[in-house]
Structures are given as structure tokens and as C-alpha cells.
Amino acid sequence: MTVTETRTQVKPDGQDHYTISEVVDRTGLSAYTLRWYERIGLMPHIDRSHTGQRRYSDRDLNWLSFVGKLRLTGMPVADMVRYAELVREGQHTFPQRQELLEQTRRDVRARITELQDTLAVLDYKIDNYACARRASERP
């Protein structure tokens, strides 16, 4: 299961305690990556069992899903960490969070435009080869 699919199979409220291996299975992220996210401040505080094992919640899985989307946008890790810090600081940071996401949206749109231009060049070249092939196959 990928990070984007974590919302589909959640445990009932109060029973939503996942071990790191369950989160690895659900998200496709490695245990190392999950620990690193926690260490750099990208993940909120993860609860621990009485034996010290990490216990992730549905909320944590939803956050990981969102982080996965941010990663797909190409957002730098430093900006993702800054966003996470702003979330932890509370509602008064809504304007800063919005601006960070709006900048990311602008960057994504610019990349989409670049990719569409690149696709048009590829389509043009492919069409040229197809036409040349057809012409060479005529008697």
C-alpha cells in the first residue's frame, strides 16, 4: 500500500495504534525514513507504548499521506519541516501555511507547463519517426 492509500483501511477510534512495521507495510516508507521524519521534526511527536515502541495513529497516517503529496510536488524537505512547525504552532499560522502551499502550487503549475512542452516535443518527434517509417515502407 502506498502513502496515498493510508486513509482506506483505518482502525476504529481508540484502536488506531500501529507499530512502525505496520506503518511500513501501509505506506511503503522504510522504518529508517519514518524515524528520520521524526528526528528532523517532520512528524509530530509519536506516542510510545510502555515498552518504548512507537505507536502511530490514524492521524499520523493521514499526516504521512499529506507529506507524501508534498514530496511529489518537489517541495524541499526544509519547507516541509517548516510547514510541520507552523502546524504545531497553531491556527495563528494559517496565513504562513497558506503562502507556503500557494508557492508550492505555483511551482507545480510551472513544472506541469514544462512537462507539457516536453511532451509536445516528444509527440512531434514520435510523429516524425512514424511518418518516416511509413514513407520508407511504401513500394
User: 139 pLDDT exceeds 90?
Assistant: no
54 phi and psi angles, rounded to 5 deg: -65, 140
- Using 50, 70 and 90 to split pLDDT, how confident is the model at 19? very high
Strand 47-48 relative to strand 54-55: parallel, antiparallel, unpaired? antiparallel
Contact predicate 34/23, CB 8 Å: yes
CA pair distance 45, 33, nearest whole angstrom:
15
pLDDT for 12 equals 67
For 51-90, the pLDDT digits (tens) are: 999 999 999 999 999 999 999 999 999 999 999 999 999 9
Cα gap 95→134, rounded to integer Å: 58
User: Given a cut of 50, is residue 2 above it in pLDDT?
Assistant: no
